[in-house]
Amino acid sequence: MTATLAKAPSSPLRWTWAVLQLVRRDLKVRYKNSALGFFWSFLNPMMQIVILTIVFRHIMGSRIQNFSMELLTCLLPWMFFAQSLNDGAVCVAKDHLLVKKYPFPRIILPISSICSNLIHLVLGFVVLLTIFLLLPVSFNIYFLWVIPLLVIQFCLTLGLVLVAATLQMYYEDIRFLLASVTQVLFYLCPMVYTVQDVMESTRVLPIWKQLYLVANPLTPLFVGYRTALLHGAEWHLLGLPGSYYSYLAISAGWAVVVLAVGLLVWRRYEWHFPEVV
Amino acid sequence: MGAPVVETRGLGKEFRVRHERLPSVKRLFTGLLRRFPTERLWALQDVSIAIAAGEAVGVIGHNGSGKSTLLRVIAGIIRATRGELIVRGRAGGLFELAAGLNPELSGRDNIFLSGALMGYPPATVRRYLDAIIDFSELGQFVDVPVKTYSSGMGLRLGFAIAITFEPEVLLVDEVLAVADEHFQRKAYRALRRVQQRGSAVVMVSHEMKAIRELCPRVLWLEQGRVVADGPAEEVIARYLERVGAENGA
C-alpha cells in the first residue's frame, strides 16, 4: 500500500515536541501527590548502597577501597538501564489508547520512556557531584567520558527496548521475564566486584573470563563510569587484558548491532500495534 | 475543486484474529514456534472511494461492517493490507469517547500532549488553546485532572481538540451519540462550519437523523464492502428497507 501525505505538518523534527510532552507527562504522573518527589528515586539507590556495602565490604570483606562511592558511580547508570528496560517493555501496551488514536511514529513511545529515566540519571549525577564536593575528589576533564558512555548505553538500551516492547505486545511474559533477567544481570556486571577479581579468580575457567569480557556490553560501560568519575580515567588500573578502548569498541559494536536488530523488528511490527492492543 | 482529499483504490484490510490465548507458561512447553491459531478476516474489501474537499460523507452499516476500520485506515492509524490510499492533507479525528486523554493530567496538559501527538509544536497548540478551552466549555476545570471530569466533560474536551485544529480530513466515529442535546447541536454546527471552510468530514453514525442533517452523501458498508455510495436520502432509504426486511417487518 502506498500512502501519500501531501500537506503534513513539516519536518520529522516536530516529533521531538511529542517526545518532550510524553516525558513531561511521565514525570508529572510519577511524582504527582508525592511530597518528596524526586527524592524517592534517589533514596532507592542509597538504600541499596548501604546494604550492599555492609554485605560485600564489611561482611564478605571485599578489597575494593571506598566501596560505596565506587558502587554509587555505576549503580546510577545501572538503574537507568534496568528501569528503562522494564518501563520500556510495557511502553506501547501502557499507551495503547494513544496508539489507537493518533498516527504518530510509534518509536517516540520507547524513546520518551527511556528519556524519562535518563532525566532521573542526570538528576542522580547532579546529586553525585554534590557529594563529590564533600570528598577529596577534584572535578576534572575526565568526567566528560560519561557522555560517550551514555550515548553507547542509550543505543544499547533503545535496541533492547524495541525488541522487548514488540514481544510484549504478543506475549505478556516478557515483562516478568525481564524483571528476573535484570536481577541476574546486576551480578553479571562488575558492580559489587571488579573485573580484576574475575580475571584473578582461579575458579573461573579462562573461556568464561573471555566471554565475560566480550559478551556483556554493559561491563565496559560500568567500569568506564567508575574509572572516569573516580580515578581520572586511569584505564590501566582496571586489570583488563589489553586496552580499555578495545573493550569499549566491542561494547559500541554490540550497541550498533542491537539497535539495528531492534529497529528492524520495530519496523516490521509497529503498524500492527493498534490491532493487537 | 481539484484532486480529492481522500482517494482509495481497491483498499483491503485483513485482520488476523486470535482465537484462544493460551496461558503463557503452558505455551512455553507446547512449543514456542507453533503459531497461535488465527482466523483471517477481511474487515475491508475492495473499497474505492474519492472524497473531495468540503464534502461531508456519512458512513452507515451494521456493527462490524468495517466503518471504524475505514476511518482508522484513512487516519493513518492502521495500514491497509492491499490497495492504495492517498490523503492530501492532515487527517484527524475523534474515535472513542475521551480516549487518549490522560486521567492524571489536567485538561490543559492534555491539550498540549494531544497536540504534540498530532504533530503540532507548542506554539501552534498555544494559538488554538483558547478556542479549544472555549469550545469544550470547561471553564476553570481545564486546570483540574481529567479523572475528575464527568464523561460529558471528557467528550467535550476530546471533541474540541479534534475539531479545532481543522484538519483537511475530519473523521468522527459515532462519539456524539452520548453527548447531551446542547453539545450535540453545537458539535454538528461546528462540523458544518469546518466543512464549509473546505475540510472533508467523514462521519460514522447509527443515527440517520444526524447523518441526514449533515451529510449529503452516504456510504453504506456491509462486511467490508461498499454496498452503496450516493445521495443520502436514497442510500438511507435502501439501508432502512434492508434492515426492516432482515427483522421480518
d(Cα A144, Cα A126) in Å, to the nearest integer? Answer: 14
CA distances from A51 to A124, A130, B219 (A): 19, 22, 68
Range of the domain at B200: 1-89+169-249
> Model confidence over B26-38: pLDDT tens digits?
555 555 555 566 6
> A21 and B117: CB-CB below 8 Å?
yes
- Domain end call among B107, B136, B167: B167
Q: Which of A10, A11, A14, A17 to mutate to test the interface with B (most CBs of B within 10 A)?
A: A17
CB atoms within 10 A of CB A264: 13
For residue A135, give the amino acid letter.
L
For the ranges A30-34, A63-67, B127-131, the maximum mean pLDDT occurs at B127-131
Q: Examine the domain organization and report whether B67 and B149 are in the same domain.
A: no
Task: Compute the average pLDDT of residues A237-255.
Answer: 88
- Cell 551480578: give the residue: A187
> Is the model's pLDDT at A264 over the cut of 90?
yes
For chain A, the structural domain boundaries read: 15-276
- Domain end call among B136, B151, B167: B167
**Strand, helix or coil at B50?**
strand
- Cell 483558547: give the residue: B130
Q: Examine the domain organization and report whether B3 and B82 are in the same domain.
A: yes
Is residue B218 within 8 Å of B232, Cβ to Cβ?
A: yes
Please tell me the predicted confidence (pLDDT) of residue B247. Answer: 85
Q: How many domains does chain B have?
A: 2
**Which residues of chain B lie closer than 8 angstroms to A6, CB-CB?**
87-89
Please tell me the predicted confidence (pLDDT) of residue A8. Answer: 46
Q: Examine the domain organization and report whether B125 and B5 are in the same domain.
A: no
Pairing of strands B217-222, B200-204: unpaired
Please tell me the predicted confidence (pLDDT) of residue A257. Answer: 98
Cell (9 digits) for A90? 510495557
CB atoms within 10 A of CB B41: 13
Name the helix (H) or strand (E) containing A116.
helix A108-134
Q: Within 13 A of A72's CA, how many CA atoms are on the CB side?
A: 23
Please tell me if residue B88 touches chain A, with a CB cutoff of 8 Å. Answer: yes
> Model confidence over A219-231: pLDDT tens digits?
999 999 999 998 8
Q: Which of A24-38, A251-265, B39-53, B77-91 has the lowest mean pLDDT?
A: A24-38
Distance between alpha carbon B160 and the CA centroid of its chain, in Å? 14
Check residues B146 and B178 and name the one with the higher pLDDT.
B146
Secondary structure letter of residue B206 according to DSSP: S
Q: Examine the domain organization and report whether B113 and B41 are in the same domain.
A: no
Helices (H) and strands (E) in chain A, counts: 13, 1
Closest CB from B76, B102, B114 relative to A103: B76
pLDDT class of B24 with cuts at 50, 70, 90: low
Minimum CA–CA partner of A21 in chain B: B113
Torsion from C-alpha of B122, B124, B127, B128, nearest 10 degrees? -100
Please tell me the predicted confidence (pLDDT) of residue A2. Answer: 43
Q: Examine the domain organization and report whether B187 and B131 are in the same domain.
A: no
Task: Compute the average pLDDT of residues B174-198.
Answer: 87
Check residues B60 and A41 and name the one with the higher pLDDT.
B60
By the 10 Å C-beta count (0-12 exposed, 13-18 middle, 19+ buried), A196 is classed as middle
d(Cα A267, Cα A159) in Å, to the nearest integer? Answer: 12
Please tell me if residue B4 touches chain A, with a CB cutoff of 8 Å. Answer: no
Closest CB from A18, A25, A102 relative to B105: A25
Q: Examine the domain organization and report whether B76 and B196 are in the same domain.
A: yes
CB atoms within 10 A of CB B177: 11
- Domain end call among B167, B198, B216: B167
Is residue A223 within 8 Å of A71, Cβ to Cβ?
A: no
Please tell me the predicted confidence (pLDDT) of residue A240. Answer: 79
pLDDT class of B180 with cuts at 50, 70, 90: confident
Cell (9 digits) for B222? 456491509
Q: Which of A111, A172, A275, A277 to mutate to test the interface with B (most CBs of B within 10 A)?
A: A275
Please tell me the predicted confidence (pLDDT) of residue A277. Answer: 60
pTM of structure: 0.88
Name the helix (H) or strand (E) containing A5.
strand A3-5
Is residue B12 within 8 Å of B82, Cβ to Cβ?
A: yes
- Cell 573516580: give the residue: A230
**Which residues of chain A lie closer than 8 angstroms to B25, CB-CB?**
173
- In chain B, the DSSP E strands lie at 6-18, 38-47, 50-51, 56-60, 82-87, 91-94, 169-173, 200-204, 217-222, 225-231
Closest CB from B24, B72, B104 relative to A29: B104
> Is the model's pLDDT at B113 over the cut of 70?
yes
Q: Examine the domain organization and report whether B177 and B108 are in the same domain.
A: no
Inter-axis angle of helices A67-89 and A218-230, nearest 10:
140
Please tell me the predicted confidence (pLDDT) of residue B21. Answer: 56
Please tell me the predicted confidence (pLDDT) of residue A235. Answer: 82
Q: Examine the domain organization and report whether B155 and B222 are in the same domain.
A: no
Q: Examine the domain organization and report whether B214 and B227 are in the same domain.
A: yes
Distance between alpha carbon A47 and the CA centroid of its chain, in Å? 19
Is residue B180 within 8 Å of B100, Cβ to Cβ?
A: no
Q: Say which CATH number the domain at B68 has.
A: 3.40.50.300
Check residues A129 and A257 and name the one with the higher pLDDT.
A257
Check residues A35 and B47 and name the one with the higher pLDDT.
B47
